[in-house]
Structure 1
Amino acid sequence: MRIGLLGTGPWAQMVHAPVLGAHEGLDFAGVWGRRPAAAKELADRHGTRAYDEVDALLADVDAVAVALPPDVQAELAVRAAEAGCHLLLDKPLAATVAGAQAVARAVREAQVASVVFFTTRFLPEPEAWIAQQASTGGWFTGHAQWLGAVFTGDSPFATPWRREKGALWDVGPHALSVLLPVLGDVRRVSAAGRGPGDTVHVVLDHVGGASSTLTLSLTAPPSAAGAAVEIRGGAGVVRLPESASDAATALGRAADALGAAARDGRPHACDAAFGLRVTEVLAEAEALLGGGAG
């Protein structure tokens, strides 16, 4: 599968380009970015072609991987789907529900495959754990903490969109990607409140009767950063395991999933429709919080 990369930022440089270039099932065909010089530098480093026009890249490939801010991703994902390209997308799918709806609709109408890269869902140990807890059922409550130090440490990911949208939109999708398949879809966001910095607390009611809470931050002290998920129910107390694999391994497995979905036509569990549902929950929480990151 010939694949192109849209984006030249830190994530594209550190993860996407190296993974696409090394993946045995992919032909890394080119890079497009909003900064042509950065696209050329990244393409040269990985022995591929830099494109000045995004539509020219879309015409030359079977699929695209996107490493761009969510509002930019949504617009380009629609164009890519309309050009017949399968989509390996980043989370969140879009910065608004309308944007996510446009992507999901374009994917459906073009009948292309889509996978949204919720990192945890593509790590081997967490993936197996999520499947096991979903099949066990009978869960009463859950709690997810996703605490980053993006704005309190020396991070290359202190980007403008993260400053605008905050932890809710950056790490909130990770938490939801774990809780929703285990506890069921969200019936309603019942409460949301703010903490220090961009920290938010969100309470969810799930369709199966369970409730869950999220604590999300990009402004945690570096010594307090980390992620943890715990669920409780008739089967006892279980916690999301750590993985021995890294984000590059997860992205490679996401690319495998996209290839499988493109071949057999069966939607992946983390497709654009699921990305839309996550976006809807985030938007409902944001409305209760009264706006963006503050």
Structure 2
Amino acid sequence: MKMRRGDQAEVTIIFFTDTGLIRLEDKEIILSRQSKICLTYLCEHEGNIVSKEALHDACWRNHGAVVSDNTVRQTLFRIRKSLASLEVEGEILETLGYMGYRLKPGCITLVSDSQNYSLPKRQDGLNQKQETSAISVSDTSKSALKNKPTKIKFRVLTLLLCCLFFIVGTVIRGQQLIHPLRYGEPLLLDGHSFLFSQYVENDKYDSARRVSYWLNKMQVSITPHSRIYINADRGNAINFFVCKGEIELATTSCQTFAVIGRNHP
């Protein structure tokens, strides 16, 4: 729109559709994504009456969203508020009752590429201070591009720190849960060799008798060379290995048993 401020010459509202920035002289504001979509559609149909249904379909439904009439009204309210912040005189975006909305023609100049846009030379006698105070869209875009890698680096650093904490926590937890087993001298009972770790708290003869009972009950095959390693015996729970030889040998195979309860004579 061509308009005057005081005794100054005519100026133009510029709308950069790629960034959503609207500018009037030295004032500018960036629209939200949805406001940018709606204002672009209204500018493309300036001077024509756009029904609420057409605006809903073009700006929401065609983008995969279905919203209420109230959402449409709120978006148009935000567009009007943004234009008002530029101190635009007069109503540019009209509401025509149930017919819909109309953007006055010639109000806004659309620019699709802010990077390659150059401000036109002004013949309005603006002083040098006003001319240099306007912030170019290209500078704004460059600032946004500088901030974007910083945000990415911050997110990557946060992710790496989370992974590091997870690994350290896993190692510490593993050290708490994993304990080495040390076995003492074997105990011969009923012709079998029983070895006990440091975690056997009950009487060794009682533990050996319990293991023998369960091995007989489960009909586990034991040879004279078999060795029975009792790893833990606490309360009513007992855990043991039945190996065909010494557990330290790589060729030795073992069976693992865990019994809860004292169901034996």
* Band the TM-score falls in, shorter-chain normalisation: under 0.3
**Higher relative CO (CA 8 A, sep ≥ 6), structure 1 or 2?**
1
- TM-score normalised to the size of structure 2? 0.20
More helix by percentage: 1
TM-score between the two structures when normalised by the length of structure 1: 0.19
Which structure has the bigger radius of gyration?
Answer: 2
